[in-house]
Structure 1
Amino acid sequence: MSAATLPVATPAQVRAYARRLVVRHPRYLAAVLGLHALAAVTGLVTPRLLGELVENVRDGRAAIDTTGLAIAGFVVVQAILTWYAYLASAALGERVLAELREEFVDRVLALPLSRVERAGTGDLVTRASRDVDTLGTSVRYAMPETLVAVVVGAFTVGALLLNGPLVALPALVAVPMLVAVMRWYLPRAHGGYLRENASWSRIADGLTETVQGARTVEALGLEDRRHARGDDDIRNSYKAERYTLRLRMVLYPAAEMGFVLPVVTTLLVGGLLYMNGMASLAQVTAATLYAQQLIEPVDTMLSWLDELQLGGASLARLLGVGDVPPDRTPGDRLPDGERLTARGVRYSYRPGLDVLHGVDLDLRPGERLAVVGPSGAGKSTLGRLLAGVDGPRSGSVTVGSAEAVPLTGLPLDELRGHVALVTQEHHVFRGTVRENLVMARAGASDAEVAQVLEAVDWDGPGLDTVVGSGGETLSPAQAQQLALARLVLADPHTLVLDEATSLLDPRAARRLERSLAAVLDGRTVVAIAHRLHTAHDADRVAVVEDGRITELGTHDELIAVGGSYAALWSSWHGGR
């Protein structure tokens, strides 16, 4: 399993969480258990009546009509109680499942963005889809059915013992075998299903990478490598699923044996006891029927046991999302200004391999800083640190003047009031254009929304048009405009634009940047630029090379120096 994969909760954590979840609804749980208990008790009267009826027939004093009516009455009452018991179980299961989903969403939203990116989309998507669906099946069906089986089985065993201890013992002949199988199966099933789910995550991750990077795969001729990756992932998933299949091939035959043995043994031993005067015919008949009745709850428990193991593995993966340690420790100090400062900043995506090397930078409030440099120089990484998305490995990135506070020491809602990041990758949420915008600032008026759309030269559909999945499709350029408009509406003091206009054609990008400059006047803007006209219009330009700021000054100053920036400008300007 990859080191970047999100963690998985331990079995002890899963059991503790399940207990907490159950005791949250004591009244619902008591009602469910009470209804199932009543239904079970009602169902246990019929075998007793049939046993007595058989003995009375033998003695020639049977009241068949009366006994038949009584049996019919108990069957009807049992059916009604069972129906209400299952209804109550389903309601409790849906309530529990809703809480599980809400808590999972909370855990996902609390994940550090840097950890999500390192883990990849496949693992998180699989947990949010396949694991949630699997757990839903367990909560809706497996848990209520197993609960019913436990209650019915317990009362049936109790009825067996009350009917007569001697005739009850043969019905328990399969217990040692089933216990032995369970002791073998359970420790192996948990790990097996975790590996199976992890293999699905890897398949999803590989498919997502291949689809999203299809053009790159084709351009670089990586088709064979991606095929090999997919084959390897499927091979590992096949091995994982074969392992759990072998577990079931041991469990289910043992369960089938456990169904047949009690009935046969009860008939044989009960017959011997009756012939030796150690049990009545009524007791033997009732015991045989009770042994027959035990088949259903035992079959239910064993049938759903595999599903519960799969659900437990899914729950462990969902709970594990909450075990990711925070990447920031918010304090109680607030900055006294909007001055952004980086001191001795170093950062690495892998231990021992820094991509930033001791970067120092002072941002003047209200200035527009362009960050330029070759691909892979560390521009985007510096932008993420200046936006507070990641914290430096060493050094500091702070906001404020005399009371400077580390960006990672601010709560996220406070942080986004000071600085925000917009990249070239944007998500359009399903909903209207208005809903996509006002999520940045609830309560924004239509006039304010129209103003920010005008600021980004919006050329898309109207405010009430549904966009996103299932709605009208926006072009990449329109999605970028929408993201920029959302940011303007959020109104942070400092904005980090990481090639935020790269999907627009040069003329549209130029026009948009001029419009934004008017709207963002007075705010600090860090523009990571791939088009150097952005640098030409900036107050200062920072040149990043090999993880260091090698030049810093105005456009004219850097041209006069004749260094790296002048060479970039000459190359870019001359090629236009």
Structure 2
Amino acid sequence: MRQILPVAGPAEIRQHARRLARRHPRNLLIALALHALAAVSGLAAPRLIGDLVQDVQHGTTASKVNVVIVVIAVFIVAQSLLTRWARYRSFALGEQVLAELREDFVDNALALPIGTVERAGTGDLLSRTSRDVDTLSRTVRFAVPETIIACVTVVFTVIATVLVGVWVLVPLVAMVPLLWLSTRWYLGRAKDGYLRENAAYAQMTSSLAETVEGARTVEALRRYDARVRQGDADIRGSYLAERYTLFLRTMYFPAAELGYLVPVVGTLLFGGWLHLNGHVSLGAVTAAVLYVNQLIDPVDRLLSWLDELQSGGAAFARLLGISDVPDDRTPSGQTPADELVEARDVRFSYVEGRDVLHGVDLIIQPGERIAMVGPSGAGKSTLGRLVAGIHPPRTGSVTVGGVGMTELPLDELRKQVALVTQEHHVFVGTLRDNLSMARPSASDSELLEALAAVDARDWAQALPDGLETRVGSGQLALTPAQAQQLALARLVLADPHTLVLDEATSLIDPRAARHMERSLAAVLEGRTVIAIAHRLYTAHDADRVAVVEDGRITELGSHDELVARQGSYAALWNSWHG
């Protein structure tokens, strides 16, 4: 199973769990103390009933029986109140820990190198943000508190049982081999099984998402059968992975249940034999049987939640694993001396041994407009991404003001260079929220000016509530062109000195795009712009045109100069313009 993003190991999981526990020592101790008090309260009834049986055997009064019943009732009420309070504190602590885990995951996910996210695709990361987060939520909210309750109850019940008589250890120990062997067998297979299940689900999600997103391509190339076969294979892989974990559960639970029923029968038989031979009293046997029977519930809950803990542990390992992705940038602490962008002998490959850029050199002066043109797959977008600091070059350097793009912290890099592609995202919230994330301090007039710069002011003000209109998933749906204009307006507000536009207006009608680019150019006067486009009027308006072919810049000059050379650009221009 292909696993692109890493998975945390057992040592890292334990270390992170201890770190989470150390963040809340007081709340954890209070929860444990309350569970202990609740467990102790629940231990009074079996001992009192055992003593009552002994008293009845030797003769007692109705008033004494009534007193014992009242005392048992008091302990039961006390146990109920303590249990409720303990569960409340445990669940509250679980919610707090879950919130921190989610925040840590979001921080780690946002810090992932963009290149890593692109190579991983949507399936793996999406399954971690949805399925794994949901699984971990159930584990932290319910499995962990219930396991703590069960463990505390088991410990105190065993202690109380042994205090009745050491002889009770004989039937108790009888269940250990079966439980130990079955649990060891299960735990040795469960984690890998659940990791495989989650990875198979991620593969299935990724495959189905690619088929849906590329439906038109699949249709055009008549690849229906191939995509259906791929989907069937991925679904079968997920089915087989889930069937394996189901097999583990169906083997483990019956053996475990047999293991904790054995002591009840053993205590009754062994205790009865000892009583008949005069070694223990009837009251002791009664109390011991009740205590051992009382062990069934917490042990049953412990084993029932063990499966959830294994599933949650696998999800936790996957969520924590993204923090192990190495950063693709090492901040040097240097500040760019100016706005000069330089690429020197740049080589880059997505797959080892297969460069897509071959020794590219390009110097872009501050305020210059560069247009990159060339056939699809020539390396234009790749070069643009290196200039924007998305990827580090394999060899050579890409710098701004003498500092490597990947030597700048992300926040600082985005103040220097910004990349806008044809891909865009509309966040759930108001139109104002979507704009102000680029500059939180922006006023309404500044937001409207940014929209006006990209020809979006008219339709934005025509919305039902203007800037307060809620957009995004489940709200007002913006057209692809409007969403792209929104992305460009954010760019205006971000105000970097260098822009890399990779087909940034491809979803807009050509005439509208032409008008919008002119408006945008007026706003961005004096800024450096690297425009990657197939529409050659962009190249016509640029200061210089870089023709990229087979990962190399084969021609570089102004539009008029390149047309006069009668080379590749001239042929491209004549074909497009004609």
Q: TM-score, normalised by structure 1?
A: 0.98
Q: Report the RMSD for the aligned CA atoms in angstroms.
A: 0.9
Displacement of 1:170 after TM fit?
1.5
| Residue 169 (structure 1) aligns with | 170
Is the CA contact (8 Å cut-off) linking 1:339 and 1:399 kept in structure 2? yes
Output the CA distance in 2 between the equivalents of 1:473 and 1:532: 31
| Residue 416 (structure 1) aligns with | 414
Determine if the alignment matches structure 1 residue 544 to structure 2 residue 548: yes
| Residue 16 (structure 1) aligns with | 15
Bigger CA drift: 250-259 or 28-37? 250-259
Report the identity percentage: 65
| Residue 2 (structure 1) aligns with | 2
Q: Which deviations, in whole Å up to 9, do the C-alpha atoms of 1:105-143 show, x marking residues without a partner?
A: 000011000000000011001000100000000000000
| Residue 571 (structure 2) aligns with | 567
Output the CA distance in 1 between the equivalents of 2:70 and 2:511: 89
Output the CA distance in 2 between the equivalents of 1:173 and 1:43: 24
Is the CA contact (8 Å cut-off) linking 1:370 and 1:529 kept in structure 2? yes
**Which sections of structure 2, spanning at least 5 residues, go unmatched?**
none
Is the CA contact (8 Å cut-off) linking 2:386 and 2:393 kept in structure 1? yes
Determine if the alignment matches structure 1 residue 365 to structure 2 residue 369: no
| Residue 211 (structure 1) aligns with | 212
Output the CA distance in 2 between the equivalents of 1:61 and 1:171: 32
Is the CA contact (8 Å cut-off) linking 1:372 and 1:544 kept in structure 2? yes
Displacement of 1:169 after TM fit?
2.5
2:43 match: secondary structure: helix
Output the CA distance in 2 between the equivalents of 1:279 and 1:12: 48
Moved over 2 A (4+): 459-462
Output the CA distance in 1 between the equivalents of 2:167 and 2:411: 70
Q: TM-score, normalised by structure 2?
A: 0.98
Output the CA distance in 2 between the equivalents of 1:111 and 1:441: 23
Equivalent AA in structure 2 for residue 271 of structure 1 = G
Displacement of 1:481 after TM fit?
0.4
| Residue 345 (structure 1) aligns with | 346
Output the CA distance in 2 between the equivalents of 1:149 and 1:195: 29
Output the CA distance in 1 between the equivalents of 2:141 and 2:521: 55
| Residue 43 (structure 1) aligns with | 42
Displacement of 1:215 after TM fit?
1.1
Is the CA contact (8 Å cut-off) linking 1:273 and 1:279 kept in structure 2? yes
2:356 match: secondary structure: strand
Displacement of 1:238 after TM fit?
1.4
Displacement of 1:494 after TM fit?
0.3
Output the CA distance in 2 between the equivalents of 1:135 and 1:2: 22
Displacement of 1:319 after TM fit?
0.4
Bigger CA drift: 191-200 or 167-176? 167-176
Q: Which deviations, in whole Å up to 9, do the C-alpha atoms of 1:248-274 show, x marking residues without a partner?
A: 112101122023211110000000111
Is the CA contact (8 Å cut-off) linking 2:178 and 2:256 kept in structure 1? no
| Residue 267 (structure 2) aligns with | 266
Output the CA distance in 2 between the equivalents of 1:134 and 1:320: 16
1:6 match: secondary structure: coil
| Residue 116 (structure 1) aligns with | 117
Bigger CA drift: 408-417 or 210-219? 210-219
Is the CA contact (8 Å cut-off) linking 1:167 and 1:283 kept in structure 2? no
| Residue 446 (structure 2) aligns with | 448
Equivalent AA in structure 2 for residue 449 of structure 1 = L
Output the CA distance in 2 between the equivalents of 1:488 and 1:78: 63
Q: Which deviations, in whole Å up to 9, do the C-alpha atoms of 1:361-385 show, x marking residues without a partner?
A: 0001101111000011000001000
Output the CA distance in 2 between the equivalents of 1:89 and 1:512: 57
Bigger CA drift: 34-43 or 178-187? 178-187
Equivalent AA in structure 2 for residue 213 of structure 1 = G
Displacement of 1:233 after TM fit?
0.6
1:463 match: secondary structure: helix
2:468 match: secondary structure: coil
| Residue 523 (structure 1) aligns with | 527
Q: Which deviations, in whole Å up to 9, do the C-alpha atoms of 1:39-69 show, x marking residues without a partner?
A: 1001001000000111111111252111111
Equivalent AA in structure 2 for residue 192 of structure 1 = G
Equivalent AA in structure 2 for residue 272 of structure 1 = W
| Residue 472 (structure 1) aligns with | 476
Output the CA distance in 2 between the equivalents of 1:97 and 1:329: 31
Aligned in 2, Cα 1:306/1:181: closer, same or farther, shift over 3 Å?
Answer: same
Determine if the alignment matches structure 1 residue 379 to structure 2 residue 377: no
Is the CA contact (8 Å cut-off) linking 2:114 and 2:390 kept in structure 1? yes
Is the CA contact (8 Å cut-off) linking 2:378 and 2:548 kept in structure 1? yes
| Residue 492 (structure 1) aligns with | 496
Q: Which deviations, in whole Å up to 9, do the C-alpha atoms of 1:225-251 show, x marking residues without a partner?
A: 111111111111111112111111121
| Residue 57 (structure 2) aligns with | 58
| Residue 135 (structure 1) aligns with | 136
1:120 match: secondary structure: helix
1:395 match: secondary structure: strand
Q: Which deviations, in whole Å up to 9, do the C-alpha atoms of 1:318-360 show, x marking residues without a partner?
A: 0001000000001111111000000000110100111100000
| Residue 145 (structure 2) aligns with | 144
Output the CA distance in 2 between the equivalents of 1:137 and 1:81: 23
| Residue 33 (structure 2) aligns with | 34
| Residue 436 (structure 1) aligns with | 434
Determine if the alignment matches structure 1 residue 557 to structure 2 residue 564: no
State the number of aligned residues.
570
Displacement of 1:11 after TM fit?
1.3
Is the CA contact (8 Å cut-off) linking 1:10 and 1:316 kept in structure 2? yes
Equivalent AA in structure 2 for residue 431 of structure 1 = G
